[in-house]
Amino acid sequence: MSLPLTFTALEWADSRQPKFRQLYEHIRRAILDGQLKAGEQLPPSRTLARELKVSRTTVLQAYEHLAAEGYLSGQAGAGTFVSEQVPDQLIRPGVPAAKAAASPTPPLLSKRGAAISQLPASRAPGSPNLLPFRPGVPALWDFPFQQWFRLMSRQSKSLGFEAFGYGDAAGYRSLRRAIAAYLRQSRGVRCEPEQVIIVNGIQQALGLACQLLLDPGDGAWIEDPGYNGAREAMRLTGVRPIAVPLDAEGLLVKAGQEIAPDAKLAYVTPSHQYPLGVVMSLARRLELLEWAARHNAWILEDDYDSEYRYSGKPLAALQGIDHNNRVVYLGTFSKVLFPALRLGYMVVPPALAEPFRLAKDYTDRGNSILEQATLAAFLEEGQLERHLRRMRLLYQERQEALVYWSEKLLGQALRVNPSDTGLHAVGWLEKDRDDRRVAELLRQHEVIASPVSGYTQEFRQAPGLVLGYAPYGEEAIRGALEKVAEVLEVRGE
């Protein structure tokens, strides 16, 4: 019997793979591509081994595996054959089985999948984190990574083997305890460790809350302008986001009641409205809480960056003055530590702790242990507080630099409102400017600034730029503002 042509083409290309495996793969491809036909006999192992200059064991191993997978059949002594079971239409290349399918253009995605695929990307992959003035990024250069990794190394040694198996989906116990203590003390949140659910960040918390608290089609108030991630998390879970305008005291509860009286939930950022920076007044907080209590509606309180309050104590959380268990409180370590940590938390009413644990369990079984344990130690040892103290001073200086230099270099062309809180400030443009166009031009100068209009839904805002300042020293801030002046064609003094 002469050797089938296919074997003469065999090259031992991949030196990292054992030869029997390369031979196996070669024959498998030849069958699937139709070079070896169903029923065709293969050379005896001895012959093939000699021709290919490999050991007979190599050939036998390859044949055995192919037989085990059903590609080959044969009995001892009777020869080895390509299996008859390999249906024709699958082994010939370029003749898809789907040819006979009823629908000529099958939709790839489900309806909700198609809706998801229409969402705007939150950012281009690979877009830089550390170009001024990208908002939402903390001072990565000033994070005590050495200490962090030292803690991590210590935790890796002190955690038992058991901890590296499957854990509690609600989170690592010590971390939940440390977060509860931290929130009680620094944010006035009323909670026990059992109410704390560890998540991958606020984005996941939003999704879990929408799934558990709302049904598809239910309406939810969102701030306009507001955080786009909240709107997208709602769309992802079939919830209908409803834009509600703001005033100087925060979300206009009365407007919400007019626009969508049947809303089941309100998403708010009361400590530092994103992106405008408004702090929700006590009166408005109480109005919102009363609305929620009267309508059995929910409040999602997103407290994403309240740790950075520059004039003294941060405002107490809405959750802490709610007597009716209508608030789900969300926080993250993306802004106080670093975003790539992907750790956040939610504080849920006691009766919801178990449903949220289950939802997290069936969503992704819980978070990675080592980073949770490292974070727990970081909190327990007071390192978080030390870091926050350092960063507060630094960020305050940087915000001052931003305000100072924008006034000096840009005057009325960019009026930066000082902000008591957070990692960004809004710079208002002159009213005939198109903020999206300005942002585009700035990007060409390697300056990133989010246009305020990019955060709006229904309600127009004056043109402005959201300016993150946390990671940048005075020189970088000044340099970037000089480029802004160039783009806005503001004359130097």
Q: Which of 491, 487, 436 is nearest to 461 (CA)?
A: 436
Whole-angstrom Cα distance, residue 13 to residue 279?
65
Stretch that binds a copy of itself, among 9-17, 48-56, 390-398, 427-435 (CB under 8 A): 9-17
Give Cα separations from 17 to 7, 51, 59 (angstroms).
Answer: 18, 20, 14
Pair of tokens at residue 478: 């000044």
Q: Nearer to a copy of itself by C-beta: 170 or 377?
A: 170
What is the sign, positive or negative, of the torsion defined by CA atoms of 261, 266, 272, 274? negative
Determine the 3-state secondary structure of 85 from DSSP: coil
Instruction: Write the interaction track for a copy of itself spanning residues 182-211; mark x where CB under 8 A is met and - where it is not.
Output: ---x--x----------xxx-xx--x---x
Instruction: Write the interaction track for a copy of itself spanning residues 221-250; mark x where CB under 8 A is met and - where it is not.
Output: --------x--xx-xx-x------------
> Least Å distance between CB 453 and a copy of itself?
21
| Contact call for residue 122 and a copy of itself (CB under 8 A) | yes
Binding residue (CB under 8 A) for a copy of itself from 55, 57, 79, 97: 97
Binding residue (CB under 8 A) for a copy of itself from 6, 47, 156, 174: 156
Phi, psi of 170 (to 5 degrees): -75, -15
Helices within 300-368 (DSSP H only): 353-364
Binding residue (CB under 8 A) for a copy of itself from 10, 255, 259, 316: 316
Q: What residues have CB less than 8 Å from 328, skipping those under 6 apart? A: 205, 209, 213, 298, 299, 300, 301, 346, 347, 348, 349, 352
Binding residue (CB under 8 A) for a copy of itself from 78, 108, 248, 491: 108
| Contact call for residue 215 and a copy of itself (CB under 8 A) | yes
> Least Å distance between CB 129 and a copy of itself?
3
| Contact call for residue 76 and a copy of itself (CB under 8 A) | no
Q: How many CA atoms lie within 13 A of 302 on its CB side?
A: 28
| Contact call for residue 351 and a copy of itself (CB under 8 A) | yes
Long-range contacts of 312-316 (CB under 8 A, 24+ apart): 314/186, 314/187, 314/271, 314/421, 315/270, 315/271, 315/279, 316/187, 316/188
| Contact call for residue 96 and a copy of itself (CB under 8 A) | yes
> Least Å distance between CB 76 and a copy of itself?
18
| Contact call for residue 13 and a copy of itself (CB under 8 A) | no
Binding residue (CB under 8 A) for a copy of itself from 295, 390, 392, 483: 295
Give Cα separations from 486 to 175, 391, 492 (angstroms).
Answer: 48, 31, 9
Q: Nearer to a copy of itself by C-beta: 39 or 87?
A: 87
Beta carbons of 297 and 291 less than 8 angstroms apart = yes
Give Cα separations from 140 to 4, 20, 334, 346 (angstroms).
Answer: 62, 50, 11, 24
Q: Nearer to a copy of itself by C-beta: 79 or 96?
A: 96
| Contact call for residue 324 and a copy of itself (CB under 8 A) | yes
| Contact call for residue 486 and a copy of itself (CB under 8 A) | no
Binding residue (CB under 8 A) for a copy of itself from 175, 251, 315, 376: 315
> Least Å distance between CB 235 and a copy of itself?
8
| Contact call for residue 252 and a copy of itself (CB under 8 A) | no
| Contact call for residue 43 and a copy of itself (CB under 8 A) | no
Q: Which of residues 369-428 bind a copy of itself (CB under 8 A)?
A: 369-371
What does the DSSP assignment read for 438-475? HHHHHHHTT---EEGGGG-SSS----EEEEE-TT--HH
| Contact call for residue 436 and a copy of itself (CB under 8 A) | no
| Contact call for residue 24 and a copy of itself (CB under 8 A) | yes
| Contact call for residue 143 and a copy of itself (CB under 8 A) | yes
Q: How many CA atoms lie within 13 A of 432 on its CB side?
A: 1
Whole-angstrom Cα distance, residue 422 to residue 80?
72
Q: Which of residues 273-292 bind a copy of itself (CB under 8 A)?
A: 281-283, 286, 289-290
Q: End-to-end CA distance of the chain: give it in Å, rounded.
A: 93
Q: Nearer to a copy of itself by C-beta: 218 or 397?
A: 218
Stretch that binds a copy of itself, among 50-58, 126-134, 424-432, 479-487 (CB under 8 A): 126-134
Beta carbons of 304 and 269 less than 8 angstroms apart = yes
Number of neighbouring beta carbons within 10 Å of residue 36:
25
